[in-house]
Structure 1
Amino acid sequence: MRNTVTLPVSSVPAAFDREHLYSPSAGTAELIEHRPGDVFGPLPTSPRGNPTAWKEWWTQHASTPTPDYLGLKAGDEITIQHASTTGPGTVLSTCRFGAIVRYPMPKGTDKPHSEMYVTARNQHGHWYR
């Protein structure tokens, strides 16, 4: 079945499956319909079981800065899907792996905000990891 959603123009590859937008990695991109990235190809699969190899993969590939991530750019205001709620977030930066987002913490916590990566968007338009 062909994708009926317009995939965003992005520096990283974009795919849409089961109503979720994400960037396919190497090994997956070859098997699915996707829009190639304007700057980067699929992110190589991360090595498992070897912390040194993983750190090298993260440094050389995953954390490479990008102009956008699936259309998200620094300064964009988004909605984040948390475990049982949604809330606001602001995109701080983007890389091949995803977008770093700052979001407010509940009142009464030690910090006013926290940060997380988001790597996909669900059918309701909320971003998550």
Structure 2
Amino acid sequence: MQTITLFDIAPAAPAPVKLRRPLALGELPVSSVPAAYDREHLYSPQADTAAVVDHRPGDRFAPLPRSPHQPKAWGAWWREQASTPTPDFLGLETGDVITLHDGDTATVVSTCRFGAVVRYALPPSEWRDEEHAEMYVTRRNQFGHWYR
């Protein structure tokens, strides 16, 4: 008779590492959102900007309409349009490691029509318990660094 013990578990195989070639600067990515490259910065143009700049249309989404200024209208715009999940944002996918504008690295947590949420490490501090923080990135500069 075979008995199972608490630690009689086969080790799990490590997850495969997703290696991707970084996109060359100046190249418009194939993306679910529109992509434009202007003055050496990659971004997703909004509807009014897309009308006047050369851009690559998104595979799934048209340019995001400009956000309204009224709080209730802005909330509806955010819920119904801007925060719609996407498979990528300007070529960024969940799990990608990128460089932020200050030179720190961050990991892409999720992507939506508006941008990509990234998580980055915080320096140790006795005044807070958090080890990580999150922020949106929406643009990439000529050095390959992402920022909002």
> Do Structure 1 and Structure 2 share a fold, with TM-score over 0.5?
yes
The equivalences for 1:72-83 within 5 A come to: 72-81=92-101
Among all aligned residue pairs of Structure 1 and Structure 2, give the percentage whose two residues are the same amino acid: 63
- The number of aligned residues is 122
Report the structure, 1 or 2, having the larger strand content: 1
Measured against aligned partners, the alpha-carbon deviations of 1:72-110 in whole angstroms (never above 9, x if no partner) come to 0000000011xxx32010000000000000000012151
What is the alpha-carbon distance in structure 2 between the residues aligned to residue 45 and residue 38 of structure 1? 20
CA-CA distance at 1:6 after TM superposition: 2.5
Corresponding position of 1:123: 142
| C-alpha RMSD over aligned residues | 1.2
Once the 2 structures are TM-superposed, how far is the Cα of residue 5 of structure 1 from its aligned partner? 3.1
Q: Does 2:88 match 1:68?
A: yes
- Note the residue ranges of structure 1 that are not aligned, 5 or more in a row: none
Alpha-carbon distance between aligned partners in 1 of 2:100 and 2:58, rounded to the nearest angstrom: 24
Greater Rg by CA: 2
Which residue identity lines up with residue 87 of structure 1 in the other structure?
D
- Letter of the 1:102 partner, please give it: R
Render the CA deviation track for 1:43-98: whole Å, top value 9, x for unaligned: 011001x10000000000000000100000000000011xxx32010000000000
What secondary structure does 2:144 align onto?
coil
Structure 2: which 5+ residue stretches go unaligned?
A: 1-24
**Residue pairs, 1:44-63, within 5 angstroms:** 44-48=65-69, 50-63=70-83
Q: Where does residue 101 of structure 1 map in the other structure?
A: 118
What secondary structure, in the 3-state scheme, does the structure 2 residue paired with 1:32 have?
coil
The SS at the match of 2:79 is: helix
